[in-house]
Amino acid sequence: MSNEIVVNVCMGTGGIAAGGSQVMEAFISELEAAGVENATVKEKCRLHKVGCRGFCARDVLVDITINGNVSTYQYIQADMVPKLVKEHVVGGKPVSDWLVGEDYHTFHDNQTKIVLADLGKIDPESIDEYLAVDGYKAAQKVLDTMSPADVIQTIKDSGLRGRGGGGFPTGVKWSFCAANDSDQYYIICNADEGDPGAFMDRSIIEGNPHAVIEGMIIGAYAIGASVGYIYIRAEYPLAVDRLNMALKQAKEKGYLGENLFGSGFNLQIKVKLGAGAFVCGEETALIASIEGERGMPRAKPPFPANKGLWGKPTIINNVETFANIPQILNKGADWFASIGSEKSKGTKVIALTGKIRNTGLIEIPMGMPLKDIIFNVGGGIEGDKLFKAVQTGGPSGGCIPQQHIDLPVDYEGLASVGSMMGSGGMVVLDETDCMVNISKFFLEFTQAESCGKCVPCRLGTKRLLEILTRIVDGEGREGDIELLQELAEDVRDSSLCGLGMSAPNPVLSTIKYFRHEYEAHIKQKKCPSKVCNKLLTFFIREDMCIGCGMCARACSVKAISGQVKQPHKIDNSVCIKCGACFDACKFSAVLKE
Amino acid sequence: MAGLAAKFGSGAMTNSVKEIAENDALFVIGSNTTENHPIIGLRMKEAVANGARLIVADPRKIPLVKHATLWLRHRPGTDAVLLNSIMNVILAEGLEDKAFIDSRTEGYEEFVKSLETFTPEYGEEKTGVPAEDIKKAARIYAEAKNAGIYYAMGITQHVMGTNNVNAVGNLAMLTGNVGKRAAGVNPLRGQNNVQGACDMGGLPNVYPGYQNVEDPAVKEKFEKAWNTELPAKAGLKATEMTGAMIDGTLKGLYVFGENPALSDPNTSHSVKAFKNLEFLVVQDIFMTETAALADVVLPGVSFAEKDGTFTSSERRVQRVRKAVNPPGQAQSDLDIINQIYQRIDGGNKDDVLDPAMVFDEVASLWPAIAGINYERIEKCGIQWPCPDEKHPGTEFLFAESFNRKDGKALFTPVPFVASDELPDKEYPYVLTTGRELFHYHTGTMTRRSSGLNAIAPEAFVEVNPADAEILGVADGQKLTVSSRRGQIKVKAKVSNIVPQNVVFIPFHYREAAANLLTSDAMDPVCKIMEAKVCAVRLEK
Amino acid sequence: MITVTVDGRDVEVAEGTTVLEAAKKLGINIPTLCHDDRLKPYGACRLCVVEIAGMRKPVTSCTTPATDNMIVKTQSERLYRLRRTAVELLLSDHPNDCMTCIGTGDCRLQELAYQYGIRENRFAGEMRDHHRIDKNPFVVRQQNKCVMCGLCVRVCEEVQGVGAIGFAERGFEAKVIPPFGKDLDCEFCGQCVSVCPTGALSGAIWAGKARMEGVEKTDTTCTYCGCGCNLTLSSNGDQVIRVTSDANNHNRGWLCVKGRFGFDFINSPERLTRPMIRREKGGTLERVSWDEALDFVAERFTKIKKESGADAIGGLCSARCTNEENYIFQKMMRAAIGTNNIDHCARY
């Protein structure tokens, strides 16, 4: 392999969106052209599409490996390919201007990759490449040599906990399910990733679908399921395609269907497309959806492990959970348990977004301090602004402020400050973010996604949102903070499913840590972060205004007047505080206060 | 009724409605239950939800088919063949209940012989149901722990209606599915008090409680109770009365709360009969088609304006109570009849009769309801037999023995009999009739209920899309439907509910009376008319 | 059997019994809005929350199975607050037009609002605004009054097996509608109306008639098919204004479209109100007194009997009328006229 030339092109959704397909096509034609003249290229060069390696902000990422030396390029577009082929593939000299910088390596070096280990390295559309990295070895071992009880014990020993949000010990859940006496068991992979800004599951399936399937095979064997479902959002077309491709390949190899690996065990896996309802990520709603019903949660108990799909014992695990399973079986429970913190073992894949320099998908050992994630892996706050808070656990997680920057990121740590792991979203906020407005933003999402079944969630989130809206609109009343708090607690304590129970988290945590911002909105009618337009006054600095008229043209209510090349003025009695002038001004002459 | 009575000694629903939910298998034949007995239909759906397997045998794709495990779409009029071939399979596969047959039945050998020709292949040929499905049905029914059969007019309104009922009874006996909880043979009663009208002696051959009028001891008992001499011979059945009216031997008729001029098959024939009467009295709450022909019309009262009891399909005697006063001078039917009684023959002394006392009088004459009185059924009705005041009533019949003289049920060989009028070149379609959900019987009440008449305002004929294409008729267009007896114009409803070559018309609508078309061919035993099969022609 | 302690009192119940049922067995009333014993537990209204020793959060008693030695509290400040908030939230999106609402006096929400003393609403805000009027002749749907308890949807699916209505939309916009928001097109059994805890679903023919004042209720048996359903007729004067059925009856309160909505024939102007006779064939029917009519009948039957014998007379009794009437009728035919020519139309 050493004298091979390998060209990896990132072809995850991020890569494709950035032009990956065109880059790929350019490589095909350029390499072919080069190969006509250069025998080495023709014989030794292998072009390769790979999944997401996490650093989507730098796409299209391309690796060119010659004799084992990897050079990684960032921001590659199709028109850059001829030069890469000519100078690096043929000429053997990397194009140094286009190579990734130090930050790319810092980003990766501070991570610990189990689930993402092979992403960005293997072609997700080829089962042979998965087999080449020990794929399906764990499943074979399990089916050949282990009893279902052994498998469950191994998972229990590993300390693996559900990566979908709840953090329930996976092995324990499996043992509950297996303990039922039933004629049929089901195994379901929850790939209905609904948190805005979360793309962990999508990337895993796009980049290494076989790992998920292998995890499901092992789980199915452990509980005795002969039918499995992968419930995946229809909004993930590439992941769905790769999944179907992988299922077909696995079936052809005899790893799915009848008599897996010649062991006599049968398993068929079906793909079920979700219709884009956030609540279908909740396991009982997901089950209802597979059954053809409206995706609405059902009361627990009974828990799905006892009475799930079609009333039969059912295990539902998240994509990331399943992707961990083969590794645990290959490397042993002790190895897995050695990674992470005391009660949270292994790693967690996190989608790092917001005001952070290195936006992308990362995998860190459980328990890594928040500040390491933000300032080492994440490279710190964009534009060197001040860090304010980080929202973890998606829209229904909580905001963690500066004072908890040393917090270890694991299930217990996050819960201790009123947030949660959730599926692993992390939105970084800086000094320019208004916490009341952030809280309103998340409530808008959860309210719109409430299934409407239970009263506290359907109406409680609506009223929370209304109160937040009036606060950011400058119509907040004395007592609104207490009312918000009380209602938020009631919604949290009496909602039917996780959506309603956690929807108030952003409200409660922002009141807890940023109460002064609420008070400023209500009492002084001011937004300290200058975000809430209705609480701001817009004016134009005469010394900065060149009289270009852009602001006046942008103003829909004609509140701005002034002669050409003369400083303009805003009539505040007419201004509706929409902020269009602020955005339109190219000279920072429009100010808000 | 007569068929079942001959086999078991009594012709009511053997089991209770609530037991339906406990059935492991249900066999519904000739009953559009969800539309005609909606609340019994709910129990069937409940049974299915509980895991029971449901077989529906009906030429029409009735709503219950949606819930069925197996749907047998047999040709109209081939019910007995279907049942016989199912029993042939049960025997061939050794699924019969030998212990039950040995200890509780008679006539088995002869019966077994009679089934020989009814192979599933023969069944397929005659009924159109695939032999494989016949076998499936046999297994579903016979392998169930508790299997119930439910039927209605779809079984009885045929020239071979008695045969059909016998076949139904044979099937239950063959598998031991009678005389126990949550099984049985259950005729569903189409009207609120059919059971009661029969129980009360509203039949030509029996006094109240099915006591034979031709049995001298019985006659003597009633003569003593009623303090008068009674006729020795059984009377005419309703269908026979029509003939007697035509030939003039029946001259006077008292019709009470019925509308035979619209409900009788071959209506024009029966209208002719009514017109031929010397004297016709009709007592009703509306000017029905029959009342319009009467010499005397007496305004009775509706169920909301009187006290009394109804007996439901499951033999449950329940209270009816007066909620409002009758309109105008309308009088309680009990009082009207009693006053005529008084004027003819002294009758009861009081002008106003107390229904509770009348009930007690019946209870003194019929041991099966001896334990029932108004006080006991104040809150909740009681199911007969209820022989004494401590008895809680009976949920299912024949637990110990059947009501025949040696306590055994009788197997009856059922031969193949074809419908009286089969389609031919001139009349190529089979017409079958029935009810729809929104109306009841001749529509006397429902068509005067605003909502019901708004949702189902007019008659229709269901035509299969393939037939509609041949006829060149579109949904909603008018069709002329004619038979050898009459002709009506009615809207076409193009639908897969009916199979090809079969059409369906509900009989609720006087302006397009389905019974102008139907045949008055009768079952030789029960004298029930063949409303479910006749031949018609369709024209645009 | 297992033993559960509810509010300090022990009760023995079968395994699988819910906490709500166990409490009920002790006569302890836990408020509910979305629960019906005849349907599967649902857990949407969250009013029946209770505290169970060892559980971190309150749970809904309707969905939680009792376990042996479980200790349950049905009343506490915390529970009171959660229940009150739920009711207050519901009222914050309710028209509160009880003065003219058909549901008044028969409305769970109204009852709860009274019990929790909710006058001012802390959560007053946007209200749903559904204008669509369903044109079906039986069921009036006032969606602004819907509390989304799902009873109608569930009864239609679980009991009736029809599924004519379902949930649509999400969040605050969630609502119960027929497919594609069209008019209701179903069996119109009205089971949904019977379980609706507010005025959101009501019978079209009930509207504007007496609500409580002067209304009398009479238990009786349905006059249509042979199912023998128990009915309660509500009447005002001589007008039947509503038909309902008690859930404890053998038909469990379920009725069909005819039984529930097909009763206005009783007060039809077409009802016969006077006896009439036709003095000769071909003549017209004329109104006469009862005496004249009854005498006429007796005379004519007596005459036929004398001239042609008793068997020249027949009688058709009625599968619609009462046992007592049928008995007297056949007795008269047999004892007074002297014939067994009696039958009824059950054969048709």
Q: From CA B111, how far away is CA C34, in angstroms rounded?
A: 56
pTM comes to 0.91
Ordered by start, the domain boundaries in chain C are 2-75, 211-268, 276-347
Which value does ipTM take for this structure? 0.92
What mean pLDDT is reported for chain A?
93
Contact C275/B344, CB-based, under 8 Å?
no
Digit-coded pLDDT (tens) for C112-128? 999 999 999 999 999 99
Beta-strand relationship, A69-73 and A45-50: unpaired
Return the CATH number of C211-268, one of 2.20.25.90, 3.40.50.720, 1.10.260.40, 2.60.40.10.
2.20.25.90
Give bridge partners of residue C103 from the DSSP assignment: none
> pLDDT per residue over B367-422, tens digit each?
999 999 999 999 999 999 999 999 999 999 998 888 888 889 899 998 888 888 88
Rg (CA), chain C: 28
Which helix H or strand E contains B168, and what residues bound it? helix B161-174
Q: Which chain C residues have a beta carbon less than 8 Å from that of B311?
A: 228, 323
Residues from chain B that touch C288, judged by Cβ atoms under 8 A, are none
Per-residue pLDDT band for B348 (boundaries 50, 70, 90) equals: low
CATH code assigned to A5-100: 3.40.30.10
Chains A and B: 3 or more CB pairs within 8 Å of each other: no
Q: What are the DSSP calls for A393-450, one per residue? A: SGGGSEEEEGGGTT-EESHHHHHHTT---TTSEEEEEETT--HHHHHHHHHHHHHHH-
CATH number of B429-539: 2.40.40.20
The model's pLDDT over A283-295, given as tens digits with 9 standing for 90+, comes to 999 999 999 999 9
At B113, which helix (H) or strand (E)?
Answer: helix B108-114
Mean local confidence (pLDDT), B71-87: 93
How far apart (Å, rounded) are the C-alpha atoms in residues B227 and A328?
97
Instruction: Please give the pLDDT value at position B158.
Output: 79
Q: Which residues pair with B185 in a beta bridge?
A: B149
Q: What angle, rounded to 10 degrees, do the helices at A461-472 and A505-522 form? A: 30
Determine the average pLDDT of the residues in C326-336: 93
The confidence band for B347, taking pLDDT boundaries of 50, 70 and 90, is low
Per the CB < 8 Å rule, is A494 touching C93?
A: no
Task: pLDDT band for A1, please (50, 70, 90 cuts).
Answer: very low
Q: Give the closest of C137, C219, C330 to B201, CB-based.
A: C330
Kindly report, residue by residue over A304-347, the tens digit of the pLDDT: 999 999 999 999 999 999 999 999 999 999 999 999 999 999 99
Q: Which fold has domain B194-383?
A: Rossmann fold (3.40.50)
The number of C-alpha atoms within 13 Å of B445 and in the hemisphere containing its C-beta is: 25
Burial of A144 (0-12, 13-18, 19+ CB in 10 A): exposed
CATH number of A435-522: 1.20.1440.230
Nearest CA in chain B to C298: B344
pLDDT at position C271 is 94
Residue C343, phi then psi, degrees to nearest 5: -155, 180
Give the chain A residue nearest C50 (alpha carbons).
A494
Whether residues B18 and C334 touch (CB distance < 8 A) is answered with no
Q: Which fold has domain A127-337?
A: Rossmann fold (3.40.50)
Is it the case that residue B3 has pLDDT exceeding 80? no
Nearest by CB to B192, from C204, C225, C240: name it: C225
**pLDDT for res C138:** 94
- Please give the average per-residue pLDDT across B194-212, as a whole number: 92
pLDDT, tens digit (0-9, with 9 covering 90-100), for C251-261: 999 999 999 99
Cβ of residue B254 closer than 8 Å to a chain C Cβ: yes
Comparing B465 with B403, the larger pLDDT belongs to B465
The pLDDT > 90 percentage for chain C reads: 88
Architecture in CATH of A537-592: 2-Layer Sandwich (3.30)
Q: Minimal Cα–Cα distance from A194 to chain C, Å?
A: 15
Question: How high is the pLDDT of residue A197?
Answer: 81
Count other C-beta atoms under 10 Å from residue B144's C-beta: 21
User: Is residue A20 a contact partner of residue A60, using CB atoms and an 8 Å limit?
Assistant: yes
Sign of dihedral through CA atoms C119, C120, C122, C127?
Answer: positive
Nearest to A466 among C43, C85, C125 (CB): C125
The CA-based angle B402-B403-B404, given to 5 degrees, is 95
A214 DSSP assignment? H
**Structure tokens belonging to residue A529:** 């972060």
Residue A156 reports pLDDT greater than 70: yes
Q: pLDDT band at C232, cuts 50/70/90?
A: very high
Tell me what pLDDT residue A244 has: 97
The predicted structure's pLDDT at residue B283: 95
Confidence band for A391, pLDDT divided at 50, 70 and 90: very high
Chain C: residue nearest A460 by CA? C89
C189-205 pLDDT tens trace:
999 999 999 999 999 98
Going from N- to C-terminal start, the domains of chain A cover 5-100, 127-337, 347-430, 435-522, 537-592
Q: How do residues B249-267 score in pLDDT, each as one tens digit?
A: 999 999 998 888 887 778 8
Put simply, whether C331 touches A (Cβ < 8 Å) is no
Which residue is it, tokens 């409303």?
A: B531
* pLDDT at residue B350 in the model: 65
Residue in C43, C78, C92 nearest the CB of A463: C92
- CB pair distance less than 8 Å for C266 and B305: yes
Note the CATH architecture for domain B2-188. Answer: 3-Layer(aba) Sandwich (3.40)
pLDDT(C151) > 60: yes
Phi, psi of C261 (to 5 degrees): -115, -5
Q: Is the pLDDT of residue C348 over 50?
A: no
Burial of B441 (0-12, 13-18, 19+ CB in 10 A): buried
CA-nearest residue of chain C to B365? C327
Percent of chain B predicted with pLDDT > 90: 66
Model pLDDT for residues B501-511, shown as the tens digit of each residue: 999 999 888 88
Q: Are strands A398-401 and A387-392 parallel, antiparallel or unpaired?
A: antiparallel
Spatial contact of A480 and A436, defined as CB atoms under 8 Å apart: no
Contacts of B339 in chain C (CB under 8 A): 290, 294
Largest CA-CA distance found in chain B, in angstroms, rounded: 68
CATH number for the domain formed by residue range(s) A347-430:
3.10.20.600
Task: Go through B359-377 and write b for each residue having 16 or more CB atoms within 10 A of its CB, e for each that does not.
Answer: bebbbebbebbbbbbbebb
Q: Which of A458, A494, A495 sits opposite C174 (nearest CB)?
A: A458
How is chain B split into domains, by residue range?
Answer: 2-188, 194-383, 429-539
Cα(A133)–Cα(B135) distance, integer angstroms: 55
Contacts of B281 in chain C (CB under 8 A): 297
Q: What pLDDT is recorded for position A75?
A: 94
Strands (E), chain C: 2-6, 9-13, 49-52, 59-60, 70-73, 139-141, 166-168, 175-177, 201-203, 215-221, 230-236, 239-244, 276-278, 285-287, 313-317, 342-344
On the question of pLDDT at A2 being above 70, the answer is no
CATH value of C2-75 in 3.10.20.740, 3.30.420.60, 3.10.180.10, 3.30.300.30: 3.10.20.740
Q: Tell me how crowded residue A258 is: count the other CB atoms within 10 A of its CB.
A: 12
Vertex B304 angle, CA B298 and B310, to 5°: 90
Do the chains contact at B197 and C317, CB–CB below 8 Å? yes
Amino acid B346: pLDDT: 65
CA C59, C60, C61, C66: dihedral to nearest 10 degrees?
Answer: -50
The residue of chain B with its CA nearest to that of C184 is B455
pLDDT at A4 over 90: no
Q: Percent of chain A beyond pLDDT 70?
A: 99
Based on its alpha-carbon atoms, the radius of gyration of chain A, rounded to whole angstroms, reads: 27
Q: What is the pLDDT of residue C130?
A: 85
Size of interface B-C (CB pairs under 8 A): 472
Residues in contact with B284: Cβ distance below 8 Å, sequence separation at least 6, in sequence order: B255, B256, B257, B259, B290, B291, B297, B298, B299, B300, B444, C272
Q: How many residues does chain B have?
A: 540
Interface probe with C: pick from A445, A458, A470, most Cβ of C within 10 Å: A458
Asked if A463 and C123 come within 8 Å (Cβ–Cβ), the reply is: yes
